[in-house]
A and B are shown apart, each in its own frame.
Chain A
Amino acid sequence: MKRPVLTLYCLLVYAFLLAPILVVVGASFNAGNFLTFPPQGLSLRWYVTFFHNDVFMRAIRTSLWVAAVATVISGTIGTMAALYYVQHAGRWKEAVRIAMLAPLLLPEVLTAIALLFFVYAIGIGTTTMIGMVAGHVLITLPFVFINVSASLESFDPSWDMAARSLGADRLTRFRRIMLPLIKPGVIGGALFAFIISFDTFTISFMLKGIGTSTLPIQLFDYLRTNFTPEAAAVSTVSIALTLVVVIVSEKVLGLRIHRF
């Protein structure tokens, strides 16, 4: 290593970022009864407890379901918005951008409260998942929008013109030329959306129906009265799930394409 100071600095940054995760993962293999680190003996008992805990299992299913639905909706709306923004917005471009990024700029708790009032005002309420899904779509939309518009900016309009000159109609051009070329942006944005949705607390907390719960809320609930390593096991599983989603979509859908 030629630059010891720089190396040390980098190691510290990594430690700052990763140490909490390592502690949680480590603590989850605890054999003892309390959430401590370093673990007192190694055991998978808290994972067994977790997988047999119906409340947690239901919460994790809800979280996955909401995240999947929100990602599909957010991915579609966000991609269309980005298309409009880059190709057609003209003099409204800046206004469109600010509007699309607004959920990111406003405090999430304000968005959540406003949405809560809104769903009751229009009579939907929180008995169905509609309100919560809408909230998740709202907060994940900016991430899809940013990613897709970035990849659209590097889309050369002459590709579209070339396809037109070869006889391709609008739909074919989108399906065969544009979509494959902006795919990394769409998938990247969708991944962000999924992870943010899976992870969010405030929106879910405000808009959940009575009796339903997502994983972060259930975990919070659990930690208010218990302090067992089961919480660490839950966290570790949720980290693992996130990693699986990222890796699988990379392998199946592919984030790389041929470029100049």
Chain B
Amino acid sequence: MTEVSIERLTKTFGSARAVDGISIRIADGEFISLLGPSGCGKTTTLKMIAGFEEASEGAIRFDGKDVVNVPAEKRDIGMVFQNYALFPHMTVDQNLAFGLEMRKIAKPEMRSRIAEVLDMVQLGGYSDRYPNQLSGGQQQRVALARALVIEPKILLLDEPLANLDAKLREEMRVFIRDLQRRVGITTVYVTHDQAEAMTMSDRVVVMFGGRIAQIGPPSDIYERPENLEVAQFVGQVNLIKGTIAGAAGPGKSRVACVFGDVTVDSRTDHTPGAAVTLSLRPEAIELKPAGQGGAQGKVTARYYSGSIIDYRIALDSGETLHVQTFPNIRIAEGDRVSVHAPADGFWLLGAAK
């Protein structure tokens, strides 16, 4: 098994820096997601790890050995592509055998390894099919099997679920995650879908403009976003303006805002009077009938989507809030409400870099 260490990795195209000096240490068996909008450098980073793009500067180490000058075909990686990239002129069996033939694995071992992996992706009995005889989900599982059957050092996945429909995508998330846990292979997963990154990863690397904005477990990324950009990219967020009212014990600040004084972790300038922005997730907010304390406002819109209901609230103080509740609380459009936000729902945002 393999530990991957990326050190000050840079890729320049002409004068543009697609990847700008990023460093990540990936532990053996860890599942890491590179998350960001298109053009943030996540795919270029993956391609440099795979060896399809040459690194302009920096190092990529597999178990301490720099592989920057090792060609892709000698890096011993398993790769899964967005469009599956199964060889259309070969059957499932031949697709899986290809990598093993390159490694000169003996026939009997080849047979048993292919059977084992096909079983793992629940496609036993499909070995004689051609890719065009399989559904999108099945093709993606074959692609996964083809990458895993060679027992590579690391598994790289480039937006593998982007071409699947919503329901299948959710099933595949869990499927890939469980499979990765079982195999225990070090995995790098590229996606622009934050829900995908959060469900699957041990840690998420959020990238903007070729740089890393934040690295951390999904709960950190979501609940303790480094800055405004990360907070807005990962899920929906209400931004609450406030001013520092003073210190509130070690490492804590009191911030005055529309919900009164709230106590948050000090992360920025905490001289009293400084203007700051607090983030407040829509699902952290609680709505109660009017006149029950908290901030007062009116429901301007309501969107029902089954498991949750989305509300837009216009506060009397002029701000608009985005609130999500379970459907057991039902409030009609136009109703006046009391808005409560728990103290631990607020998070002080740092300035964007």
| Residues of A in contact with B (beta carbons under 8 Å apart) | 156, 158-159, 161-169, 172, 176-177, 180-181, 257-260
Assess A258 versus B132: contact at CB under 8 Å? Given A159-B85, A165-B147, A167-B102. yes
How distant is the Cα of A257 from the Cα of B89 in the complex, in angstroms? 6
How distant is the Cα of A176 from the Cα of B89 in the complex, in angstroms? 10
Give me 14 A-to-B residue pairs in the complex whose CB atoms sit less than 8 angstroms apart, sorted by A's number. A158-B85, A159-B85, A159-B87, A159-B88, A161-B50, A161-B81, A162-B85, A165-B156, A166-B146, A167-B99, A167-B150, A181-B88, A181-B89, A258-B89
Residues of A within 8 A of B150 (CB): 166-167
Residues of A within 8 A of B50 (CB): 161, 165
- B131 at the A interface (CB under 8 A): yes
Contact A168 B85 (CB under 8 A): no
Contact B98 A165 (CB under 8 A): no
Contact A172 B102 (CB under 8 A): yes
Give chain A nearest CB distance to B193 CB in angstroms. 20
How distant is the Cα of A181 from the Cα of B132 in the complex, in angstroms? 14
Contact B83 A165 (CB under 8 A): no
Residues of A within 8 A of B72 (CB): 161, 164-165
How distant is the Cα of A102 from the Cα of B146 in the complex, in angstroms? 44
Contact B89 A180 (CB under 8 A): yes
Q: Which of A161, A166, A260 contacts B102 (CB 8 A)?
A: A166
Closest-by-CB residue of A relative to B83 is A158
Q: Which of B74, B76, B81 contacts A162 (CB 8 A)?
A: B81
Contact A260 B73 (CB under 8 A): no
Contact B73 A167 (CB under 8 A): yes
How distant is the Cα of A164 from the Cα of B131 in the complex, in angstroms? 19
How distant is the Cα of A212 from the Cα of B324 in the complex, in angstroms? 89
Contact B98 A168 (CB under 8 A): yes
B70-104 CB contacts (< 8 Å) to partner A? 71-79, 81, 83, 85-89, 98-99, 102-103
Contact A161 B85 (CB under 8 A): yes
Contact B79 A165 (CB under 8 A): yes
Give chain A nearest CB distance to B149 CB in angstroms. 9
- B52 at the A interface (CB under 8 A): yes
| Residues of B in contact with A (beta carbons under 8 Å apart) | 50-52, 71-79, 81, 83, 85-89, 98-99, 102-103, 130-132, 146-147, 150, 156
Residues of A within 8 A of B146 (CB): 162, 166
How distant is the Cα of A16 from the Cα of B198 in the complex, in angstroms? 67
Assess A257 versus B77: contact at CB under 8 Å? Given A165-B72, A167-B99, A167-B102. no
Contact B85 A176 (CB under 8 A): no
Contact B74 A167 (CB under 8 A): yes
How distant is the Cα of A156 from the Cα of B79 in the complex, in angstroms? 15
Extra inter-chain contacts (7) besides given A161-B81, A167-B102, A260-B88, CB under 8 Å: A158-B85, A164-B51, A165-B75, A165-B78, A166-B98, A168-B98, A181-B87
Residues of A within 8 A of B85 (CB): 156, 158-159, 161-162
Assess A258 versus B88: contact at CB under 8 Å? Given A166-B98, A166-B150. yes
Give chain B nearest CB distance to A245 CB in angstroms. 24
Residues of B within 8 A of A258 (CB): 88-89, 130-132
Give chain B nearest CB distance to A254 CB in angstroms. 11
How distant is the Cα of A239 from the Cα of B52 in the complex, in angstroms? 50
Residues of B within 8 A of A259 (CB): 88, 132
How distant is the Cα of A259 from the Cα of B131 in the complex, in angstroms? 8
Assess A260 versus B132: contact at CB under 8 Å? Given A165-B50, A165-B72, A167-B99. yes
Contact B88 A162 (CB under 8 A): no
How distant is the Cα of A181 from the Cα of B88 in the complex, in angstroms? 8
Closest-by-CB residue of B relative to A181 is B89
Give chain A nearest CB distance to B60 CB in angstroms. 15
How distant is the Cα of A259 from the Cα of B130 in the complex, in angstroms? 9
> Nearest 10 CB-CB pairs, A to B?
A166-B99, A167-B102, A158-B85, A165-B79, A162-B85, A164-B72, A258-B130, A158-B81, A164-B73, A180-B89
Closest-by-CB residue of A relative to B149 is A166
How distant is the Cα of A163 from the Cα of B156 in the complex, in angstroms? 14
How distant is the Cα of A112 from the Cα of B286 in the complex, in angstroms? 87
Closest-by-CB residue of B relative to A166 is B99
Give chain B nearest CB distance to A61 CB in angstroms. 37
Residues of B within 8 A of A166 (CB): 73, 98-99, 102, 146, 150
Give chain B nearest CB distance to A166 CB in angstroms. 4
Q: Which of A156, A167, A177, A181 contacts B83 (CB 8 A)?
A: A156
Residues of A within 8 A of B52 (CB): 161, 164
Contact A168 B83 (CB under 8 A): no
How distant is the Cα of A156 from the Cα of B52 in the complex, in angstroms? 15
Closest-by-CB residue of B relative to A167 is B102
How distant is the Cα of A164 from the Cα of B98 in the complex, in angstroms? 11
Closest-by-CB residue of B relative to A168 is B102
Residues of B within 8 A of A164 (CB): 51-52, 71-73
Residues of A within 8 A of B98 (CB): 163, 166, 168, 176
Give chain A nearest CB distance to B49 CB in angstroms. 11
Residues of B within 8 A of A159 (CB): 85, 87-88
Contact B88 A257 (CB under 8 A): yes
